[in-house]
Chains A and B, each alone.
Chain A
Amino acid sequence: EAQVTQNPRYLITVTGKKLTVTCSQNMNHEYMSWYRQDPGLGLRQIYYSMNVEVTDKGDVPEGYKVSRKEKRNFPLILESPSPNQTSLYFCASSPLGPGRETQYFGPGTRLLVL
Chain B
Amino acid sequence: GENVEQHPSTLSVQEGDSAVIKCTYSDSASNYFPWYKQELGKGPQLIIDIRSNVGEKKDQRIAVTLNKTAKHFSLHITETQPEDSAVYFCAASIQTGANNLFFGTGTRLTVIP
Using a CB–CB cutoff of 8 Å, the interface residues on chain A facing chain B are 4, 31, 40-45, 48, 50, 56, 58-59, 90, 92, 97-100, 102-103, 105-108
Report B-chain residues with C-beta under 8 Å of the C-beta of A105: 36, 43-45
The CB with the most chain B CB atoms within 10 A, among A59, A92, A100, A106, is that of A100
Given contacts A48-B99, A99-B32, is CB(A42)–CB(B44) below 8 Å?
A: no
Complex: A91 Cα to B61 Cα, angstroms:
29
- Over the window 98-111 of chain B, the binary record of Cβ atoms lying under 8 Å from chain A Cβ atoms (1 yes, 0 no) is 11110111100000
Given contacts A41-B105, A42-B104, is CB(A90)–CB(B96) below 8 Å?
A: no
Complex: A100 Cα to B86 Cα, angstroms:
25
Interface of B is mostly: loop
* Contact B101 A4, beta carbon cutoff 8 Å: no
Interface size on B, residues (CB 8 A): 29
Complex: A83 Cα to B96 Cα, angstroms:
37
**B95 close to chain A: CB less than 8 A:** yes
Least CB separation from B93: chain A residue: A99
Report A-chain residues with C-beta under 8 Å of the C-beta of B41: 107-108
B66 CB, min distance to chain A CBs, angstroms: 15
Given contacts A42-B106, A99-B94, is CB(A59)–CB(B44) below 8 Å?
A: no
The CB with the most chain A CB atoms within 10 A, among B42, B43, B99, is that of B43
Complex: A52 Cα to B100 Cα, angstroms:
18
Complex: A22 Cα to B12 Cα, angstroms:
36
Using a CB–CB cutoff of 8 Å, the interface residues on chain B facing chain A are 1, 4, 6, 9, 32, 34, 36, 41-46, 49, 89, 91, 93-101, 103-106
Q: Sample 7 A-B pairs with CB under 8 A, ordered by A number.
A: A40-B105, A42-B4, A98-B91, A102-B49, A103-B34, A105-B45, A108-B41
Report B-chain residues with C-beta under 8 Å of the C-beta of A50: 99
Report B-chain residues with C-beta under 8 Å of the C-beta of A99: 32, 93-99, 101
* Contact A43 B100, beta carbon cutoff 8 Å: no
* Contact A100 B99, beta carbon cutoff 8 Å: no
A94 CB, min distance to chain B CBs, angstroms: 9
* Contact B99 A42, beta carbon cutoff 8 Å: no
